[in-house]
Chain A
Amino acid sequence: MQCDDVTWNILHKGQCSYKAWSKPKMFCRNEMNLTGLCNRASCPLANSQYATVREENGVCYLYAKVVERSHYPRRLWEKTKLSKDMNKALEQISDQLIHWSEYVRHKCKARLIRIHQYLIRMRKMAVRGNQKKLIPIGRKVERREKRREEKALVAAKLDHAIEKELLARLKQGTYGDVYNFRQEAFEQMLENTEKELEIEQEVEQDDPDTGETQFVADFDSSDDEEDMEDGGDGHWSPEETDSENEETWQQQEEESDGDDDGEDGGEPMEVDEPPKKKSKKEVKKKTVKKAADGKKKKLKKRAHVEIEYEEEVEPRQRVKA
């Protein structure tokens, strides 16, 4: 015998495995529950005449049970497939549950609508394609990776490695002129300065001689100066060799003749040139200035004339062409 009130009293006040306790209302975990709430009207166990709507793989079914089949658990639920069209499905439900309680009929329709809504949303999301796939993270794997990372960090000696790499780059010269303390560059600089120093010393030795020539230069052109310089070279070459050994002196003198020739062509000439040029320039400038004073006035007058000539010449050429 079915006695719904007795079952409900037992389930409600006693033990029910489908009860889900939560703060505002009690819920039911039974799959066949119509509303999901735990109350007398929507309890699938305590109602012998009961109906619900379920979705299986995107297809909705109406499940209905009646008292007459209550003693056949295998054939308890009457399952009817509902149409994909929601309006037709609603009609189906109202046809099937025509004499049933208003509560069940209404809730079934509401449930169907709800199911259709979520199916539509699911399809939309699937079409849009921004679904996320959640992948579980192994807790132990995570822990192991973290530990290995710590060890790798220690083994890496990061600061040391970075410093080493930077210094290697510095040695390689990737930084170019940004830094001055590159050793090779530093040595090169030293060598250059030494050369310059030598040259300067030579210049200093030359200077008194050239100073003498400068007096002469005022009178005439530079031929005399060069003669005097040659004589000057002869003067200072033994002075330098005095500090060296006597045996090598003669050889050096011979070499020094050759060297002097070379030097005349090379370094000392370059150094000597500026005073000569100055002297020449001074002479020239004075003459030029004197001439220029006269010329400038003439040039200014001539310029006007020349332009006029050009204008006259060009049209003739065009005519010829």
Chain B
Amino acid sequence: MAPKKSKKSKQEDSMIDFVEEEVSGDVDEEGFEEAEDIVVDSEEDEPPKKKKKVIKKEVKQELELTDEKLQELLEKYEASKSTATKTKDDFKHLPKSQRGKALKRALRKDKRARQEERTKIRDELGESAPQKEVPKTIESMREYDATMVDEQDDEVEHDEANDEFAPYFNRETTPKVMITMTPKAKITTFKFCFELQKCIPNSEMFTRKNVLLKTIIEQAKEREFTDLLVVHEDRKKPNGIIFCHLPEGPTAYFKINSLTFTQDLKKFGESTAHFPEVILNNFNTRLGHNIARMLACLFPHDPKFTGRRVVTFHNQRDYIFFRHHRYEFKKEGTKAALLELGPRFTLRLKWLQKGTFDAKWGEFEWVLKRHEMETSRRRFFL
């Protein structure tokens, strides 16, 4: 013990010397603080056990306080959550025409105040704070669908390994897409087809020339096309797409909503010929999986990452939003900047048919029927 003490004393001496030097320099306050620290250190060295006891007592007191306080705070928290303090009776002094507005304003203010109160209580409670409630959105309240796909489902995996798109995902086929439109299509439809052609690599556009769809399908099969897109129009504007996977794949009909051409976007870039990446978001059910796989089949296998092109099909509440971007990673890969390239439009699935297009005798896998199926706002199929 003796040598240690001597060492400490030496250290203290040296520290004090150091402090004196600092004081003799410019900064007075810092020097004093350090001196105080040293004093404290020496105290701790002399009666270490007593100090610890004192600290323990303090901790115990705090714990007791929290035990009592906890329930109070929790009650307060619940209270602040549940009730609004203002009612419409508070505004009877106002003329009738102003009561509603005043009440709304007051309620909003009250809501904010209660929120702040809750955050304060939450800070006080620390770890023992009650869990924050998850906001109730249409997505989170979605009605249960029996065909929701889990990540590890052998049956689904087996089915998907043997469906019509399997050759694409096994890299046996390379996508080659044919784009046509209704006979006697008008200029906007052509424009839309051109834009589609830009988005989808390895795609060819043909005018329809009043040929039947079934014969077109046969010809496309002969020329080894893997997909067929037929754009339908109404009142000179594209309003639907028949999407047929070849040679034997399913056929889907999508309605096109809110189509915006590249030229009409506020800010747009020029598309490049690189193979794009594909993002398919939120396709959760079996049907959704099928549609997603179908859409993925349009694009070639190995995207060129140097092109930084990305095509997105984002499903939200059964609306499939199509976007086409060029991205750039910024700030050392913590952010991605996006520049929109292509058209934007929204697809809504109307029906899905097994086999190639056959309107009369085809076997429909799924048809959107308004009265039977749209029973709730929270029921989605994709």
Contacts and interface: CB of A to CB of B under 8 A. Distances in A.
Interface residues of A, number: 32
B333 A130 contact: no
A271 B138 CA distance: 66
Given A152-B317, A152-B319, A162 B325 contact: yes
A6 interface: no
A179 B329 contact: yes
Contact of B279 (A153, A165, A179): A165
Interface string B292-308: 00000000000001100
A212 interface: no
A167 interface: yes
Interface in A141-167: 141, 145-146, 148-149, 151-153, 155-156, 158-159, 161-163, 165-167
A14 interface: no
Contacts of B306: 178
Interface stretch (B47-55, B160-168, B220-228, B334-342): B334-342
B310 A162 contact: yes
Contacts of A219: none
Contacts of A182: 333
Given A158-B312, A161-B314, A166-B327, A153 B336 contact: no
Nearest to B338: A159
B136 interface: no
B370 interface: yes
A129 B258 CA distance: 31
B272 interface: no
A163 B210 contact: no
Interface residues of B, number: 38
B212 A167 contact: no
Contacts of B314: 156, 158, 161-162
Contacts of A179: 329, 333
Contacts of A158: 312, 314, 321, 323
A24 interface: no
A189 to B, nearest CB: 13
Most buried by A among B214, B325, B377: B325
Nearest to B380: A152
B257 A166 contact: no
Contacts of B346: 149, 153
B150 interface: no
Interface in B324-376: 325, 327, 329, 332-336, 338, 346, 348, 359, 370
A149 B333 contact: no
Contact of A149 (B212, B214, B258, B327): B258
B321 A175 contact: no
B281 interface: yes
B139 interface: yes
Contact of B329 (A128, A152, A181): A181
Given A133-B359, A152-B316, A167-B329, 6 more contacts: A130-B213, A153-B316, A155-B317, A158-B323, A167-B336, A170-B329
